[in-house]
Amino acid sequence: MTTEITDIVERPRTLAEKVWDDHLVVKGENGEPDLIYIDLHLVHEVTSPQAFDGLRAEDRPVRRLDLTIATEDHNTPTLQIDKPIADLTSRTQIETLRRNAEEFGVRLHSLGDKEQGIVHVVGPQLGLTMPGITVVCGDSHTSTHGAFGSMAFGIGTSEVEHVLATQTLPLKPFKTMAITVEGDLRPGVTAKDIILAIIAKIGANGGQGYVLEFRGSAIRSLSMEGRMTMCNMSIEAGARAGMVAPDETTFAYVKGRPHAPTGQDWEDAVAYWRTLPSDEGAVYDAEVFLDAAELEPFVTWGTNPGQGVSLSDAVPDPASFADPNERAAAERALDYMDLQAGTPMKDVTVDAVFMGSCTNSRIEDLRAFASVIEGRTKAENVRVMVVPGSARVRLEAEAEGLDKVFTEFGAEWRFAGCSMCLGMNPDQLAPGERCASTSNRNFEGRQGKGGRTHLVSPLVAAATAVLGRLASPADLPTRVEA
């Protein structure tokens, strides 16, 4: 009812509150959840089959096909994409998505299509992700899209079904946490390092129940792709979502994309988007501050994304953790990672480098990686895989000649998908192998059974590929000019 909507009190509000309020279909009373409208629903093959089956069982249609889009990503091979998928489960999931998309009329980008790719890379690149909207997907890293100033979060399979059927979700409001990063980043320090440092500071559960809003001059100066990297990993701090207020950088990124508004719609949109940043005096439930100038390239040593240190530091001693649970977790992690307390992180040698995932597989990430390896030689002991986030990113990289830089260096240049981020396809670490990875999760076995993951930025991944041990570009000898 409209009366319920206008009941909202005029008080300073945060970005998250504004987007929430503007999507209220029904305000929940007496502790009941609000009913929130969903502007954009992204679908992939892993979490959608049962949702479509549920619709079928109840004879329900997809309510808004024009707000729904699907792509294949988790199970897709990154080599020989024209061959049938060998793994039966993977093949079944993909074939099921294709059948469901056909039956219900959902737009799908299949393997081989130029818009295929990781769902969180595809949405922004098509211009579907924009400020002030709500975005959901049956995948926790949906938080990526919050970089545009949208409210974007992952949902479970029954919620996927709920959104398909109703284009809404019953939800209780999230708490808000402001994370302010002020100052100038040092050269070689990137969005990935900021977010890894934040997670190490607040802990892998520190954001539980919150929407994180990243703010401050260091965030403002990040590109959209850097902001996506940060919001992507909000979930690794346990948060529901991450957001950055939209600004000129955001508008410039969205403008002209295939699904971006045009003409008067664009003018209206920008006028509205300018009203979204948090009001002066808006109150957050929690606040965290970081000094950008103090940050260094960051790397994880353990088996959760909160277990990280500066690359110039050493593996911590579990005894240094006051909290007994953290101490025990650190002991277990060092055991799994086969690391000794006190070893300098830069002495840790790796077997593999994975450049990819929805955290860092966009064109800027590939450019950053290429800029470091160009004209240098790969360490013999490492296998290097470069996996673009989408087929379009792959084409873009090839148009710029980046593929040559990768292959001449000795890296494998692959087709788009989630790949070794989670190893649902054949791209996996062997037991005991150690990997510097630009992805977002270093859980035990995440990249393959027994595999050991160090989360790093694309720049650190590149320098590591050159030296064969964890390194930053600053550690590399000066390039010999040809």
C-alpha span between 54 and 164 (Å, rounded): 10
Pseudo-torsion of CA 67, 71, 74, 75, nearest 10°?
140
State how far the alpha carbon of 423 is from the alpha carbons of 87, 233, 262, in Å.
12, 19, 40
Pseudo-torsion of CA 313, 315, 318, 321, nearest 10°?
20
143/168 with CB nearer ligand SF4: 143
CB of 419 to ligand SF4, least distance (A): 7
The backbone torsions φ and ψ at residue 461, rounded to the nearest 5 degrees and listed phi first, read: -60, -45
Residue 440 interacting with ligand SF4 (CB under 6 A): yes
131/389 with CB nearer ligand SF4: 389
Q: For another protein, which residue of 268, 294, 338, 347 counts as binding (CB under 8 A)?
A: 268
Q: List all residues 6 or more positions away from 50 whose beta carbon is below 8 Å from its beta carbon.
A: 157, 161
Q: For ligand SF4, which residue of 418, 461, 463, 467 counts as binding (CB under 6 A)?
A: 418
Query: Three-state SS for 76?
Result: coil
Q: For another protein, which residue of 107, 114, 172, 449 counts as binding (CB under 8 A)?
A: 107
Residue 118 interacting with ligand SF4 (CB under 6 A): yes
Q: List all residues 6 or more positions away from 282 whose beta carbon is below 8 Å from its beta carbon.
A: 12, 13, 14, 17
Name the packing angle between helices 157-166 and 49-58 (round to 10°): 50
User: What type of residue sits at position 132?
Assistant: G
User: What type of residue sits at position 122?
Assistant: V
CB of 136 to another protein, least distance (A): 13
* Interaction partner, residue 410 (another protein, ligand SF4, none; CB < 5-8 Å by kind): none
Residue 370, token pair as written in the block: 């290429």
278/439 with CB nearer ligand SF4: 439
State how far the alpha carbon of 462 is from the alpha carbons of 72, 219, 400, 405, 453, in Å.
28, 24, 18, 12, 15
187/258 with CB nearer another protein: 258
Residue 476 interacting with another protein (CB under 8 A): no
35/286 with CB nearer another protein: 35
* Interaction partner, residue 40 (another protein, ligand SF4, none; CB < 5-8 Å by kind): another protein
Tell which residue, 212, 176, 220, has the closest CA to residue 195. 212
Q: For another protein, which residue of 85, 128, 152, 353 counts as binding (CB under 8 A)?
A: 128
User: What type of residue sits at position 67?
Assistant: L
Tell which residue, 288, 300, 358, 353, has the closest CA to residue 329. 300
Task: Mark the segment that binds ligand SF4 (CB under 6 A) among 64-72, 205-213, 221-229, 418-426.
Answer: 418-426
Query: Three-state SS for 441?
Result: coil
Site for another protein in 5-34 (CB under 8 A): 25-26
Query: What x-and-dash track marks residues 49-88 binding another protein by CB under 8 A?
Result: xx--xx--xx-x----xxxxx-------------------
Residue 480 interacting with another protein (CB under 8 A): no
17/73 with CB nearer ligand SF4: 73
* Interaction partner, residue 475 (ligand SF4, another protein, none; CB < 5-8 Å by kind): none
Residue 18 interacting with ligand SF4 (CB under 6 A): no
Q: For ligand SF4, which residue of 422, 465, 470, 471 counts as binding (CB under 6 A)?
A: 422
Q: What is the DSSP string of 250-282?
A: HHHHHTTSTTS--HHHHHHHHHHHTT-SPPTT-
C-alpha span between 162 and 175 (Å, rounded): 23
Residue 261 interacting with another protein (CB under 8 A): yes
- 423 and 444 Cβ atoms separated by less than 8 Å: no
* Interaction partner, residue 49 (ligand SF4, another protein, none; CB < 5-8 Å by kind): another protein
Q: For ligand SF4, which residue of 78, 278, 357, 437 counts as binding (CB under 6 A)?
A: 357
Residue 192 interacting with ligand SF4 (CB under 6 A): no
Angle at 456 between CA 452 and CA 458, to 5 degrees: 125
Residue 187, Cβ neighbours under 10 Å: how many?
9
The backbone torsions φ and ψ at residue 344, rounded to the nearest 5 degrees and listed phi first, read: -60, 135
* Interaction partner, residue 130 (ligand SF4, another protein, none; CB < 5-8 Å by kind): another protein
Site for another protein in 271-300 (CB under 8 A): 272
Bin 12: left if φ > 0, else alpha if -120 < ψ < 50, else beta: beta
Q: For another protein, which residue of 73, 139, 161, 225 counts as binding (CB under 8 A)?
A: 161
Q: For ligand SF4, which residue of 139, 236, 296, 475 counts as binding (CB under 6 A)?
A: 139
Residue 425, token pair as written in the block: 């396809």
Residue 237 interacting with ligand SF4 (CB under 6 A): no
- The pairing of strands 151-154 and 168-171 is unpaired
The footprint of ligand SF4 (CB under 6 A) covers 73-74, 118, 120, 139, 141, 357-358, 418, 421-422, 439-440
The footprint of another protein (CB under 8 A) covers 1-2, 25-26, 35, 37, 39-40, 49-50, 53-54, 57-58, 60, 65-69, 89, 92-93, 96, 107, 127-130, 133, 157-158, 161-162, 165-168, 170, 258-259, 261, 265-266, 268-269, 272
